[in-house]
Structure 1
Amino acid sequence: MKKFQSTIILLLLASILYAQVRLPKLISDGMILQREVPIKIWGWASPGEKVEIKFVDSAYSVAASDKGKWQIMIPPQNAGGPYKMEISASNKITINDILIGDVWVCSGQSNMELPMRRVEPVYKDIIANSSNKYIRQFYVPREYCFTERKKDFSDGKWTEANPQTVLDFTAVGYFFARELYDKYKIPIGLINTSLGGSPAEAWMSEEALKEFPHYYEELQKFKDYSLIEKIRKSDSVRINNWYTALRRKDEGYKNPDTPWYSTAMNTAGWDSIAIPGYWTNTPLEGTNGAVWFRKEIEIPESADKSSGLLILGRIVDADSVFVNGKFIGTVSYQYPPRRYRLPEGVLKPGRNLITVRVISNLGDGGFVPDKQYELVLKDTTIDLKGYWKYKTGAVMPPLESQTFIRWKPGGLFNAMLAPLFNYKIKGVVWYQGESNADRPVEYRRLFPALIKDWRNNWHQGDFPFLFVQLANFMEPDSAPSNSNWALLREAQTKALDLPNTGMAVTIDIGEWNDIHPLNKKDAGKRLALAAMKIAYGEDPVFSGPVYKSMRIEGNKIIIDFSHTGGGLVCKGNQLKHFAIAGADKKFVWANAEIKDNKVIVWSDEIKNPVAVRYAWADNPEGANLYNKEGLPASPFRTDDW
């Protein structure tokens, strides 16, 4: 009898638990709902269960479907708040601190994912003054799925901006939101769904990928979970074995009494090398494995040595840092800036020793040039550039890269995008393209297909879709040349043919030695200008000059532009980065001047010109055509060669 009663109680408990109304992670405390459109609130309950919502002095109800799904449409609301929402069924959920405003989805790869924390050295004052309860972010967990569209996220919450939380906001998104809030004084919600390194095809639905059979077939392949586990295991074993062998072989660790980071280590036989610099064209060229670097510095007796910040630019690929024999920190991959806080008591007056163990996995390692390398004390800065001693600890074969399964086609769409489609939005801001730059011609079709795919799935018509054109990057070329990055920028520009799209040109705010430029403020501001035009119906000058047409007059080509604003201007003494070619398709640097709001291009070398290119390079350093409003001209070519 007791066993029977226990069974009944368990069944009743299970029934009660099953009947609990549940909400997606997005529908939670602090959320910002989209103003001036019908608002969808949805969730799960037991089949047929009545769900009631009370919100802004009104009540709404619905019965859950036979599959336990329910949704309620709330009439359009004006911007405002905070409000409270009560959702009742067999249980009751209260959602507090709700705002009504504009919701923007921030997506793409690492330049969108990059948080304010990474740009803190540039924007300390802005971060210190970032408290604003009307700017909020929902951070989407970095996950993937190939087999189905996820209904919800595994985690996530809304966070309002303040000097602590804003460090985890998307930097581009935050500056975008800041501009819009300052202009319109309405709440701005950011949904940060981005992932470093992700190619465009990872953000597209299975249906959209059918246009691209090679990606569609790859998606089918990765629906096999056993294949994913096999690849993971193989990668894990191979990578772990490589690092284990490296540690075992590394001479720098073999003598426990005097490891190479020890202050007692004799470095009389070590060689010297200039830092910063890549290993190419040095005795270390082609070295994979571990190389140790040491530098002695003198700290004046008068300097405040209570703490310090050791800035070591960027290092390819990984590093471990020791100061006076004490381990300070490590970074496991090449992209983050190296900024190591030194604990109190590590530094001393007089001689101090800095040791850096660098691991090069593949290709040439090195200390990235044109970055900060210094020890910053409270009252003293010590330059660390110059000659360091070095010695190779272990040589290893190149380490084959891991398989980035999360970047495979369709996986991010299903896990990081699909759960958003019920949530009403104002639009999308997108920063991506670097991972597709080796396939720029394909991007002409791929990127517009992605935009259409998202619009089809959101069922909100042609909502604003704003994007950042690739910034300048890599070493500049001394002569006109072909460029995949230029081709991809061209593909991005072509996407402007779609309605309600806008592009922020950033060829003037990149960094030749960093794929993640720190100037995210101007990128966000330029996106906001596009939003003011496309999403808010304002009429600002929101774009720099865009190529419109050309005509040939003798040995000159005259270029006409749209989006000239208050007029074309040259930032500098003369226009740069124009190239011209004849029928032989050989481009040479050209003269160029602004006349009657057009650009006239010519070269004494080309008597019969047929084509012009501008800023057509990975890094068009010095390209200086703008409009008077300070917005740069987009790179272009008049040919289709």
Structure 2
Amino acid sequence: MKIVLTKLWFSLIFLFAANISSQVKLPKIISDGMVLQRGTPIKIWGWASGNEEIQISFNKVTKKTIADISGKWEVEFPQMIAGGPYEMIINASNIIKLNDIMIGDVWICSGQSNMELPMKRVSWNYPDEIENSENKYLRQFYVPREWNFKEPQEDLSSGNWKEANPENTPDFSATSYFFGKELYEKHKVPIGLINTSLGGSRVQCWISEESLKKFPTYQNEAIMFRDDDLIKSIEDADRAISESWYKLLDKQDEGYKNNTWHKSELDTDNWESMNIPGYWADNDLGMVNGSVWFRKNINLSKELAEQTATLILGRIVDADSTFVNGKFVGNVTYQYPPRRYDIPLGVLKQGENLITIRVVSNSGKGGFILDKEYSLEFADSSISLEGEWKYKL
């Protein structure tokens, strides 16, 4: 009896495993809410068991196909006009139903940080834009940050289509959002934005393996990086250098080490002065890799001191840690994001207020970018922070 039950148990496991392996699967980008390109044949693809028959119905058209021996399959629908929402049903050993599909114009939004920059990072420039962004015909698919030097990937680890609305729009690429919004207003067709941007990425990273053969130097480099151990050794070495540099910096930085240079009672008679904005390499400091502390005092009326405020510090090269009246209010670790720090009630006071910034530069030409705003902003007024600041290495 025990032997029979054991055989039955293994038979059930085998049948269950066989059933799981035969499940039809779709790539992440073919999913609920997707936007398909109008006016051109539409390809739908996925995976199943080898030689499995698949039937796909979409927009009153049905297509049938059989997966190849490896389980891959693909069908092609005729070109269609803009419209939606539609549903798609994939029928095989299992049934998949996709909802809320649109047909319109689909755009690849690729590039570096200018394309990657999300709407939430520019929300103060467009205070009503996110709140009023509801548009079910404008959608983004965000491609996650991941890479593989060995071969092209057949699918992504995650991803889904999201329509523009106050909840989702903050994560849209700002450039692609305004681009897509303008296109929708002009053409009145659904717009799909595939956000596949990565700050700092070189154009060589986006070239196909076949096209890279035309550039042997880059091709050889790509082949070299197929070695996982090599990549790990480079990452480990870079991490060790960075950690060592910052550890030594913190050890030698008197203001950081003693935790005093951001405090109001500090004697600054021996500090130098320079005008902000500007690069310290263009002043008496020259090219400095490391940290420089800046301090500025401003006077506030009782009325302003009892308000919340926003400290606007343009852009700083490279990293900053910022304090107001000795209280830490924020930091950014690299040069590109604009600095905007909310100052809550109770931090400001009537009379003299101290703003302190520890700037860390790893490029030598550190400082405060010109032609940006440097101010303390209140509800109905602002105080310029440009001009003379005290500084010390």
Q: Distance between the aligned counterparts of 1:294 and 1:262, measured in 2?
A: 10
Aligned residue in 2 for 1:52: 55
Aligned residue in 1 for 2:358: 357
162, 181, 184: which one aligns with 1:181 = 184
1:228 CA drift (Å): 0.9
1:42 equivalent to 2:37? Answer: no
Q: Distance between the aligned counterparts of 1:268 and 1:66, measured in 2?
A: 80
Distance 1:73 1:345, change over 3 A: same
Q: Is the 8 A contact 2:250 2:257 kept in 1?
A: no
Q: Is the 8 A contact 1:304 1:379 kept in 2?
A: no
1:19 CA drift (Å): 1.5
Greater alpha carbon shift after TM alignment, 44-53 vs 236-245 = 44-53
Aligned residue in 2 for 1:381: 382
Greater alpha carbon shift after TM alignment, 365-374 vs 160-169 = 160-169
Q: Distance between the aligned counterparts of 1:349 and 1:5, measured in 2?
A: 82
Aligned residue in 2 for 1:89: 92
1:210 CA drift (Å): 1.8
Aligned residue in 1 for 2:287: 286
97, 100, 104: which one aligns with 1:101 = 104
Q: Is the 8 A contact 1:303 1:380 kept in 2?
A: no
The 3-state SS of whatever aligns with 2:16 is helix
1:5 CA drift (Å): 4.3
100, 109, 113: which one aligns with 1:110 = 113
Matches within 5 A, 1:43-442: 43-255=46-258, 259-303=260-304, 305-392=306-393
Matches within 5 A, 1:532-547: none
Q: Distance between the aligned counterparts of 2:20 and 2:263, measured in 1?
A: 60
Q: Is the 8 A contact 2:281 2:288 kept in 1?
A: no
Q: Is the 8 A contact 2:84 2:101 kept in 1?
A: yes
Aligned residue in 2 for 1:421: none
The amino acid that maps onto 2:248 is A
Deviation string, structure 1 residues 450-480 (Cα, Å, up to 9, x no partner)? xxxxxxxxxxxxxxxxxxxxxxxxxxxxxxx
The amino acid that maps onto 1:118 is R
1:139 CA drift (Å): 1.2
Q: Is the 8 A contact 1:304 1:378 kept in 2?
A: no
Q: Is the 8 A contact 2:61 2:77 kept in 1?
A: no
Q: Is the 8 A contact 1:45 1:70 kept in 2?
A: yes
Q: Is the 8 A contact 1:303 1:379 kept in 2?
A: no
Q: Is the 8 A contact 1:310 1:375 kept in 2?
A: yes
Matches within 5 A, 1:601-640: none
Q: Distance between the aligned counterparts of 2:12 and 2:261, measured in 1?
A: 67
The amino acid that maps onto 1:320 is S
Q: Distance between the aligned counterparts of 2:308 and 2:49, measured in 1?
A: 59
Matches within 5 A, 1:26-37: 26-37=29-40
The amino acid that maps onto 2:118 is P
Deviation string, structure 1 residues 23-62 (Cα, Å, up to 9, x no partner)? 1011111100111222111111111222222322343332
TM-score (norm 1): 0.58
Q: Distance between the aligned counterparts of 2:124 and 2:169, measured in 1?
A: 14
The amino acid that maps onto 1:135 is L
The 3-state SS of whatever aligns with 1:37 is coil
Q: Is the 8 A contact 2:116 2:198 kept in 1?
A: yes
Q: Distance between the aligned counterparts of 1:264 and 1:10, measured in 2?
A: 74
1:118 CA drift (Å): 3.5
Aligned residue in 2 for 1:612: none
The 3-state SS of whatever aligns with 1:124 is coil
Deviation string, structure 1 residues 431-453 (Cα, Å, up to 9, x no partner)? xxxxxxxxxxxxxxxxxxxxxxx
The 3-state SS of whatever aligns with 1:320 is strand
The 3-state SS of whatever aligns with 2:266 is coil
Distance 1:15 1:287, change over 3 A: same
Q: Distance between the aligned counterparts of 1:284 and 1:88, measured in 2?
A: 70
1:329 CA drift (Å): 1.2
CA RMSD after TM alignment:
1.9
Deviation string, structure 1 residues 119-163 (Cα, Å, up to 9, x no partner)? 334333444432211111111122222211111112111111123
Distance 1:150 1:382, change over 3 A: same
> % of aligned pairs identical?
55
The 3-state SS of whatever aligns with 2:180 is helix
Q: Distance between the aligned counterparts of 1:49 and 1:350, measured in 2?
A: 78
In structure 1, list runs of 5 or more residues that go unmatched.
393-641
Distance 1:94 1:345, change over 3 A: farther
The 3-state SS of whatever aligns with 2:388 is strand
The amino acid that maps onto 1:117 is K
Distance 1:251 1:5, change over 3 A: farther
1:9 equivalent to 2:48? Answer: no
In structure 2, list runs of 5 or more residues that go unmatched.
none
Q: Is the 8 A contact 2:305 2:349 kept in 1?
A: no
Q: Distance between the aligned counterparts of 1:296 and 1:243, measured in 2?
A: 29
TM-score (norm 2): 0.93
Deviation string, structure 1 residues 398-437 (Cα, Å, up to 9, x no partner)? xxxxxxxxxxxxxxxxxxxxxxxxxxxxxxxxxxxxxxxx
Aligned length: 390
Q: Distance between the aligned counterparts of 1:173 and 1:232, measured in 2?
A: 32
The amino acid that maps onto 1:345 is G
Aligned residue in 2 for 1:549: none
Q: Is the 8 A contact 1:304 1:377 kept in 2?
A: no
1:92 CA drift (Å): 2.3
Q: Distance between the aligned counterparts of 1:261 and 1:189, measured in 2?
A: 48
